Structure 1
Amino acid sequence: MNQMTPLRPNRPPMPDDDVCWDAFSRRDRRMDGQFIGAVLTTGIYCKPSCPARHPKRENIHFYPDAAAARAAGFRACLRCRPDEVGRDRLAVEAALALIEGAEAPPSLDAIAAHVGYAPHHFHRLFKRETGLTPAAYARTIRADRLKQALEGESSVTEAIYDAGYNAPSRAYADAVRHLGMTPSAWKAGGRGVVIRHMIAPTSLGPLLIAASDRGLVRISFDEDEGDLRGRFPHADILPADAAFAALARQVAALVEHPADGNQRGDLPVDVQGTSFQQAVWDALRAIPPGETRSYKQIATAIGKPGAVRAAGTACGDNVLAVLVPCHRVLRSDGGLGGYAYGVARKKRLLERERDR
């Protein structure tokens, strides 16, 4: 197997015992690799998601990693195999480095061979750790490069080839998916893109809803047409028509029933974001209604446990309030933390989900 060097060797601090016990009790897979639970009555240590029967609280001790548990005299659980967690995460990090450094997207077979795993097994592992398949992650990397090239001085054609595309057709398809518009429209600053909008009354205050012909571009409280024009200075901002009004009513209903947002995968979305931001936003939508996560858990869920601050920034960059539920992220100590539209609204949204 090829030698693999971690891209992000700095381990985040181990959670306190109460957080560890809560994660262990819920068998929280997102916390695998963050700590180890050692059972005093059996002499074995397990990862948080271990499916075995739980011991009593007083019979478990938590360690930062498997090495510390072994040094204390415990042996690995044969059911959850906790020693493999570190190897899996290291393999995903090596795959991320390979994809990010390649001029053209490597094949699944090439990635799996590089990290020493069977292709189909690693495909499932990579998606579980990052929320994306290797191919989808490679597409976002190229789309990011295309975005940067389009913002430079080169022509559209030069930007397409500078980003690593062999033909314009693939670049246009990726640009529409990740940038929300064609490369030519992006280069022109969104000129010619039509955005319709309306302000819907809700029980938590007026809600601005805006969409291009491809999908929603903005959902926010306490904003108006002027704010929208500031965000999209070169777009044609128009009032709602009948088709858009029907979409807006569905969005506004999420304020009264925010838990329904997880089931609304049919609502079209047209947002711009880096591959990291997209991964964070996908992780937010994966949080079950009525539950919350910390910024550290979000960073871990996308395979970058050291990027806690960046995960918080990506949550703050979310442009689709309620639909992408950044209100479900709390501070590590369980506090509500901040929210772009006020902590009182965040609290109300969480209460409504828990009540349901």
Structure 2
Amino acid sequence: MTEFSIDERWQAVLAHDAGADGRFWYGVKTTGVYCRPACPSRRPRRENVTFHDSPQQAEAAGYQACKRCQPEKVGAAARAVAHVQHLLDTAETEPTLGELARAVNLSPFHLQRVFKARVGVSPKQYALRIRSEKLKVALKNGHSVTAALYAAGHDSPATLYAKSTDQLGMTPRTYARGGQGEMIQYTVTESPLGEMLVAATARGLCAVRFGHMQEMVAELHTEYPNADIREGAAALQPYVDGILDYLKGVNPALNLNTDAKGTHFQKRVWDALRRIPYGETRSYAQLAEMIGEPTAVRAVASACARNPVALVVPCHRIVRTGGELGGYRWGAERKKKLLQREAGAGRLLLSD
């Protein structure tokens, strides 16, 4: 388990960071209770906070467990989530939420809450992504759609086609043909960070990138070789406006729909990135903790580097543990400007 510095612990407390749960606990001198980092209670003053490596350590120091966040149960919850992930990873048919809850001795409501807090998606969404990855492998290996359907754990064509566009970004037959028949619209516009390409399917953004127009358009065709790719500035204007408003500091949430291709693991990382608050940063190790994979730091870094929708999935908010900027697919200078903007420094930097 990667160690949190004192400053990183305090920042996690301020952010109510569920990804830090189980890594440390904090006590509050004025109330005599100890909590987990994600406790929803009002944040205490820094001078009243002490940090502890376990519930036992906090209790030995004289603190009592917070009744609201139940910090003494965090370790058990983490183990329960890991066991549920294993059950879903290995199940031939998808268990119900009730069956999963009984397997770990939790109520369905509590399991749903702790699972989503640690993994970033619900058990149902997690199971659906596993089936999606199995389906992709089967289709790429030349299996018929019917054979791939059952190999992936779907019990009927109805369940396959009802969910496939959410997970594949297209129907199974379209995916098997390399995206043939799928329409992607794109536009290239000027932004405070240089030329910006924005591309989307009918379901959401599949690319936001920076660079030279010709290179970006060529890369889009390489990634979607059999899709119908065409310019569509008018259709994409709402997306462009939202991104430009974000760069001006008007739209910090940037809650835009996405339809980005990625593996199950990559999508977990991208979901976690979108939970990092505006104006804050995390290290790769912290991001790995957020998805419940503390030893997968290198894989997390790789997923960040492959993020196809810049800004909307804010991979620029990941820095090295020592505070150095680290790498960024679209250039260190752009990353520096984005972080300065979000931190409130150099407010005119992106509007010059």
How high is the TM-score relative to the length of structure 2? 0.86
Cα deviation, 1:17-76, whole Å, max 9, x if unaligned, reads 33224434555443221123467899875433454874764x765443335556x66555
Quick check: 247-256 or 269-278, which moved more? Answer: 247-256
Cα deviation, 1:176-200, whole Å, max 9, x if unaligned, reads 1111111111111112222222211
In the alignment, residue 309 of structure 2 is paired with which amino acid? Answer: L
Q: Match for 2:218 among 226, 245, 255?
A: 226
**Structure-1 separation of matches of 2:253 and 2:265:** 20
Question: Structure 1 stretches of 5 or more lacking a match?
Answer: 1-11
CA distance 1:259–1:297, change in 2 (3 Å): farther
CA distance 1:209–1:56, change in 2 (3 Å): closer
Shift, 1:239, TM fit = 2.0
In the alignment, residue 75 of structure 2 is paired with which amino acid? Answer: G
The corresponding residue for 2:275 is 286
CA contact 1:262–1:286 (8 Å) conserved in 2 = no
The corresponding residue for 1:31 is 20
Shift, 1:304, TM fit = 2.6
**Structure-1 separation of matches of 2:175 and 2:318:** 32
The corresponding residue for 2:155 is 166
Q: Match for 2:247 among 227, 251, 256?
A: 256
The corresponding residue for 1:193 is 182
Quick check: 42-51 or 108-117, which moved more? Answer: 42-51
In the alignment, residue 321 of structure 1 is paired with which amino acid? Answer: A
In the alignment, residue 80 of structure 2 is paired with which amino acid? Answer: A
Q: Match for 1:346 among 332, 335, 338?
A: 335
CA contact 1:202–1:252 (8 Å) conserved in 2 = no
In the alignment, residue 208 of structure 2 is paired with which amino acid? Answer: I
Cα deviation, 1:184-240, whole Å, max 9, x if unaligned, reads 111111122222222111121100112223332111001422121121122222222
CA contact 1:45–1:77 (8 Å) conserved in 2 = yes
CA contact 1:261–1:323 (8 Å) conserved in 2 = no
Number of corresponding residues: 340
**Structure-2 separation of matches of 1:165 and 1:49:** 36
Aligned-residue Cα RMSD (Å) equals 2.7
CA contact 2:101–2:108 (8 Å) conserved in 1 = yes
Shift, 1:322, TM fit = 1.0
**Structure-2 separation of matches of 1:54 and 1:289:** 21
CA contact 2:34–2:66 (8 Å) conserved in 1 = no
**Structure-2 separation of matches of 1:77 and 1:109:** 28
CA contact 1:35–1:62 (8 Å) conserved in 2 = yes
1:146 aligns to 2:146 (yes or no): no
**Structure-2 separation of matches of 1:321 and 1:336:** 16
CA contact 2:254–2:312 (8 Å) conserved in 1 = no
How high is the TM-score relative to the length of structure 1? 0.85
CA distance 1:53–1:319, change in 2 (3 Å): closer
**Structure-2 separation of matches of 1:314 and 1:150:** 23
Residue identity (%): 40
Secondary structure of the residue that 1:230 maps to in structure 2?
Answer: helix
CA distance 1:333–1:170, change in 2 (3 Å): same
CA contact 1:198–1:239 (8 Å) conserved in 2 = yes
CA distance 1:237–1:41, change in 2 (3 Å): closer
1:120 aligns to 2:109 (yes or no): yes
In the alignment, residue 157 of structure 1 is paired with which amino acid? Answer: T
The corresponding residue for 1:3 is none
Quick check: 136-145 or 22-31, which moved more? Answer: 22-31
CA distance 1:240–1:76, change in 2 (3 Å): same
Cα deviation, 1:286-327, whole Å, max 9, x if unaligned, reads 222212222222222223333222222221121001111111
CA distance 1:45–1:154, change in 2 (3 Å): same
CA distance 1:159–1:243, change in 2 (3 Å): same
The corresponding residue for 2:146 is 157
1:48 aligns to 2:40 (yes or no): no
Q: Match for 1:77 among 41, 49, 65?
A: 65
1:297 aligns to 2:297 (yes or no): no
The corresponding residue for 1:272 is 261
**Structure-2 separation of matches of 1:69 and 1:146:** 47
CA contact 2:13–2:43 (8 Å) conserved in 1 = no
Quick check: 213-222 or 13-22, which moved more? Answer: 13-22
In the alignment, residue 273 of structure 2 is paired with which amino acid? Answer: L
**Structure-2 separation of matches of 1:26 and 1:228:** 36
The corresponding residue for 1:5 is none
The corresponding residue for 2:350 is none
In the alignment, residue 88 of structure 2 is paired with which amino acid? Answer: I
1:314 aligns to 2:303 (yes or no): yes
Question: Structure 2 stretches of 5 or more lacking a match?
Answer: 348-352
